[in-house]
Amino acid sequence: MKKNPDPITDKRVADSRRGFLKSVALAGAVAAGTSMVATPALAATTWKIQSVWDAGTVGYSLFEEWCNEMEEKTNGELIFKPFPAKSVAADNNALFDAVRNGVLQGMNPFTLYWSGKIPASVFLSSYPAGPDQPHQWDTMFYSMGMLEKTREIYKKYGLFYVGPIQHDANIIHSKKPVNSLDDLKGMKVRLPGGMVAEVFQQFGVSTVSLPGSDIFPALEKGTIDAADYVGPAVNYELGFSQVTDYILFGPPGVMSIYQPVDLMDLTVNLRTWNKLDPKLQKIVEEQVQNYSQRHYLTIQKRNIEAMEKFKAEGDTVSRLSQDDLMRFRKAAIPVWYKWANKDEDARAIFDLQLKYMMNDTVGYITEEDIKGME
């Protein structure tokens, strides 16, 4: 028991306690009010993106997996909703228009598909006897200004070219043996049109343009003697080993001399891209580069496995010689210039690549090779 109580001191203590309790109560009320009126999280931006890969292929499985990761990579701010080939836009022309018009926000095509609409795009992916190593293309895009120039070109069409996606080389499956360019003479071969077909025609090949889904039945019926398509992994999935016995590669180290680095890309609607927060733009660009490496390396692993299966089923591999490559390049050079001169954008991309191929670090082209070309 306290002795000699001090009423003044006791009052101060009581007032202090009441003040403290009021402060605690007020803080609790503020906290409760804040939780009730907290600003809701911003709604995520969703992009619908169609690939040209068919559902069920290794290509589409990889694309779908990558798209599904984007929400986590952006902390829920951006969602990629993937679609396989033909699911929204029925064909390539419709796909191009769907992205331009904003029906789709993006696409994952083979860049070469737009050579008829954007002539420069013929030089933004594989072309006959051109740069034949994936790192050469990455060097041109990311170190020599080709990415920036490509974006300038696509901007004219209301599109934004985010970046290249490494895919694979294209190879030829044949019903009869082919050991040199001369063996192709008189054969009917499914090939892409444009530059590739024009070069093969110089070696006596009758070229046929067919969509991928028509290749197997054409080979099975004997309507064509051989067909190019993509690489071993996908071609095995499509059953080519059942209707052909021979596979044609380029010289050692070069799977293909006519489409050696067949690039895909991510392209989005320009208005859609411009609306995106710069922070998210940077993430998308970085993720495209990461995906490019994953896509390429996974398919290369599958190619190795597929070639073992082709051989186990009796397919024979043959290779063109280095001399064949030089002959093919000599035939291709005038065709390069023909396409480069279609417009100033195509010429700008080609000139950059030609300078690179003539540099001693690459050494594919000499002054003598292009003498008289304009």
Per the annotation, where are the binding residues for substrate? Answer: 170, 190, 228, 259
DSSP state of 119: G
- The two tokens of residue 193 are 């049109």
Q: Rounded to an integer, what distance in angstroms lies between the CA atom of residue 337 and that of residue 261? A: 20
Annotated binding site: 170, 190, 228-229, 259
Annotated binding site for Na(+): 229
The candidate with the shortest Cα–Cα distance to 52, out of 211, 163, 160, is: 211
Q: Rounded to an integer, what distance in angstroms lies between the CA atom of residue 171 and that of residue 231? A: 6
**CB environment 91-116: b (16+ within 10 A), e (fewer):** ebeebbebbbeeebbbbbbbbbbbbe
- The two tokens of residue 53 are 């890969």
**Cα–Cα distance list, 27 to 24, 31, 34, 37, 101 (Å):** 5, 6, 10, 15, 53
- C-alpha R_g of the chain: 30
**Cα–Cα distance list, 120 to 50, 54, 216, 304, 309 (Å):** 22, 26, 31, 33, 38
Are residues 105 and 272 in contact, defined by beta-carbon separation less than 8 angstroms?
yes
3-state secondary structure of 257: coil
Strand 78-83: give its sheet, edge to edge.
Answer: 78-83, 45-51, 106-108, 262-269, 159-168
**Cα–Cα distance list, 12 to 2, 9, 171, 317 (Å):** 16, 5, 93, 99
Q: Where are the alpha helices (DSSP H) in 267-315?
A: 270-275, 278-312
Q: Are strands 172-174 and 246-249 parallel, antiparallel or unpaired?
A: antiparallel
